[in-house]
């Protein structure tokens, strides 16, 4: 079974550019202190206006800033990514020409939670079929004690993820723990890979990775099931569906 020492990176993090509390450098240094070999900055896209989400132009500037920052930091690779909103119709909130410049793309639902199961299934399938998408973020949207998972056909979504080599996130944030153990098991049975992330909005959130690892163990996941156990180059290729 997987343990925390197997993880070589945490690839879902926000900065002051959107709704995080720390800079790129502060997040990278905290990740390095955590013992990681890589991390990713994945700020929000513009649909999350209250989070000051990025439009196409700001997203391009931000990945340039992330890459410049990475050149000045030793001992950890900083991936330039984005957490792009999956809009109500399944299209993504940024242009494909911008998304393809990213090292990795997390696509997440942050709106229109009350669609029918049919609409939500079609919406997620459309996002998974976008070749720029690497990971589906917090895939059921549940917030423990506050918001139920949105309804959709998990079998169909996981089958599509397997076909398109899109990973599912295990969001370790304690209010989320999303996917749950049962869905993680369903993913494993199909060969769908998992990425365990904290979705840190502050350097202090990175330690919450342990809740994700505990959840993964409830589903009997092994290091082979989890992409962020890979060495940096293999992880980078997996984010581009190249392995």
Contacts with Zn ion, residue ranges (CB under 5 A): 83, 108, 199
Q: CA torsion 113→56→28→204, rounded to 10°?
A: -30
Least distance to Zn ion, CB of residue 20, Å: 9
- 198/215 with CB nearer Zn ion: 198
Least distance to Zn ion, CB of residue 243, Å: 25
Phi-psi region for residue 64, left (φ > 0), alpha (ψ -120 to 50) or beta?
alpha
- 15/121 with CB nearer Zn ion: 15
Beta bridge partner(s), residue 85: 108
Least distance to Zn ion, CB of residue 221, Å: 21
- 126/138 with CB nearer Zn ion: 138
Cβ atoms of 12 and 40 within 8 Å: the answer is yes
- 59/188 with CB nearer Zn ion: 59
Q: To the nearest 5 percent, what fractions of the chain are helix, strand and coil?
A: 40, 20, 40
Least distance to Zn ion, CB of residue 147, Å: 13
């Amino acid at each position: 079974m997987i343990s925390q020492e197997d993880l070589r990176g945490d690839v879902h993090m926000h900065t002051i550019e959107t709704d995080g509390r720390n800079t790129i450098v502060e997040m990278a240094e905290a990740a390095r202190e955590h013992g990681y070999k890589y991390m990713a900055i994945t700020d929000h896209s513009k649909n999350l206006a209250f989070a000051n989400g990025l439009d196409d132009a700001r997203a391009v500037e931000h990945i340039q800033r992330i890459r410049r920052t990475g050149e000045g930091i030793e001992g950890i690779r900083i991936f330039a990514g984005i957490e792009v909103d999956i809009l109500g119709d399944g299209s993504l909130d940024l242009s494909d020409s911008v998304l393809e410049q990213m090292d990795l793309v997390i696509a997440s639902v942050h709106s229109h939670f009350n669609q029918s199961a049919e609409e939500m299934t079609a919406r997620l399938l459309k996002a998974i079929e976008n070749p720029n998408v690497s990971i589906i973020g917090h895939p059921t949207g549940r917030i423990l004690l506050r918001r139920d998972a949105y309804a959709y056909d998990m079998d169909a979504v996981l089958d599509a993820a397997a076909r398109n080599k899109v990973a599912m996130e295990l969001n370790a944030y304690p209010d989320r723990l999303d996917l749950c153990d049962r869905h993680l098991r369903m993913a494993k049975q199909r060969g769908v890979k998992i990425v365990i992330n904290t979705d840190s909005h502050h350097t202090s959130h990175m330690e919450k990775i342990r809740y994700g690892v505990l959840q993964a163990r409830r589903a009997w996941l092994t290091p082979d099931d989890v992409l962020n156990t890979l060495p940096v180059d293999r992880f980078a290729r997996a984010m581009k569906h190249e392995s």
